[in-house]
């Protein structure tokens, strides 16, 4: 086990209480053959903390998979809070839905199935969202940023995962569509004076990657 994974395990064992619903969600994801690309427990806790720190009541997630990050975000909401989560793959959504029911959080989570760019135009009635978590197909990140800005308000926070890509994001010559998508996302962030952004590079059981954290200003 590499040192990053050892530290992630130590952090999780020491600081993050075991949660049967979250563990069952990961087990169900594995059993259904979904890829092991959910956030780590420490990253999930970070999402929960972000929701709590800004007092989020409405959250939008793009990219559900088995709903592991959704459950962490739901844990960070008050009882009347609500998450809309978008997932293109019906098989992923089916596992997620069962996970939400098992966790007793289905009431708080509105799972919509389809390509996010088809679903986002229908969310204006649910806006403004206090927190948007972008974690789907990276080439679409620039479009997701445009939608996130339409569906948020001054003070909202936008979080995007997997923006470092083992350092490949710094390669201006990269032809990888995921890297290009993330770089264009950054260009969109940089071009809008209302947005204040940083990137937190992450290591751990999910390898070397990072989150972009953005606050929408006036
Ligand atoms: N957020 C999840 C977590 O941490 O537990 C992981 C999400 S996984 C990295 C990305 C998910 O986005 C996959 O389930 C994939 O099917 C979904 N996805 C990919 N392209 C999409 C699209 N265009 N619209 C909606 N979902 C999409």
Nearest C-alpha to atom 6 of ligand 1 is from which residue?
38
Bridge-based pairing of strands 195-202 and 109-113 is unpaired
Q: Which residues line ligand 1 (CB under 6 A)?
A: 37-39, 63-65, 68-69, 86-89, 92, 115-116, 135-137, 140
Let me know: does 115 contact 89? Beta carbons within 8 Å: no
DSSP code per residue over 11-34: HHHHHS---HHHHHHHHHHHHTT-
pLDDT digits (tens, 9 = 90+) for 55-99: 999 999 999 999 999 999 999 999 999 999 999 999 999 999 999
C-alpha 170/C-alpha 21 separation (Å) is 38
**Sole residue written with tokens 């993330």:** 182
What's the mean pLDDT in 27-54?
A: 97
Q: Can you tell me the ipTM of this complex?
A: 0.99
Query: To which CATH superfamily is domain 3-216 assigned?
Result: Vaccinia Virus protein VP39 (3.40.50.150)
CA-CA-CA-CA dihedral for 202, 207, 209, 211, to nearest 10: -50
Q: What is the pLDDT of residues 157-208, one digit of tens each?
A: 999 999 999 999 999 999 999 999 999 999 999 999 999 999 999 999 999 9
pLDDT of res. 85: 98
Mean pLDDT value of segment 18-46: 97
Measured in Å, residue 191 CA sits from the centre of ligand 1 at 26
Query: Ligand 1, closest atom to CA 67?
Result: 5
What is the pLDDT averaged over residues 152-158?
98
Selection from 67, 109, 129, 117 nearest residue 88 by Cα = 117
CA dihedral 122, 124, 129, 134 (to 10 degrees): 40
pLDDT band of residue 218 (cuts 50, 70, 90) is confident
Question: How far is the centre of ligand 1, averaged over its atoms, from the C-alpha of 172 (Å)?
Answer: 25
In the beta sheet, which residues pair with residue 38? none
pLDDT value at residue 134: 98
Q: So what's the pLDDT on residue 63?
A: 98
Which residue's C-alpha comes closest to atom 23 of ligand 1?
115
Taking Cα atoms as reference points, which of 145, 153, 132 lies closest to residue 186? 145
Structural contact between residues 60 and 66, judged by C-beta atoms closer than 8 angstroms: no
**Longest CA pairwise span in the chain (Å):** 47
pLDDT of residue 195: 98
Report CA(67)–ligand 1 centroid distance (Å): 10
From the CA of 43, give the closest atom in ligand 1.
4
Ligand 1 pocket test, candidate residues 21, 62, 65, most atoms within 8 A of CB: 65
For the chain, domain boundaries: 3-216
Q: Convert 84-93 to b/e letters by CB count within 10 Å (16 or more is b).
A: bbbbbbeebb
- Closest by Cα among 59, 86, 79 to 156: 59
Q: Is cis: bond before 128, omega within 30 of 0?
A: yes
pLDDT over 90 (residue 1):
no
Centre of ligand 1 from the C-alpha of residue 90, in Å? 11
> What spacing in Å lies between the alpha carbon of 20 and ligand 1's midpoint?
23
């Amino acid at each position: 086990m590499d040192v990053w994974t050892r530290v992630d395990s130590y952090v999780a064992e020491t600081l993050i209480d075991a949660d049967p619903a979250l563990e069952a969600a990961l087990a169900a994801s594995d059993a259904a053959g979904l890829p092991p690309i959910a956030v780590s427990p420490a990253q999930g806790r970070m999402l929960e903390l972000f929701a709590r720190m800004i007092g989020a009541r409405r959250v939008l997630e793009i990219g559900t998979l088995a709903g592991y990050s959704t459950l962490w975000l739901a844990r960070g909401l008050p009882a009347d809070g609500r998450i809309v989560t978008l997932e293109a793959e019906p098989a992923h959504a089916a596992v997620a839905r069962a996970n939400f029911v098992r966790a007793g959080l289905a009431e708080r989570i509105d799972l919509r199935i389809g390509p996010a760019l088809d679903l986002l135009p229908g969310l204006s009635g649910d806006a403004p969202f206090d927190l948007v978590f972008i974690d789907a197909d990276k080439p679409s990140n620039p479009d997701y940023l445009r939608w996130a800005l339409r569906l948020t308000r001054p003070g909202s926070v936008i979080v995007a995962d997997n923006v470092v890509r083992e350092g490949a994001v710094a390669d201006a010559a990269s032809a990888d569509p995921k890297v290009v998508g993330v770089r264009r996302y950054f260009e969109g962030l940089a071009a809008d004076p209302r947005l204040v952004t940083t990137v937190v590079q992450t290591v751990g059981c999910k390898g070397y990657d990072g989150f972009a954290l953005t606050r929408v200003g006036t």
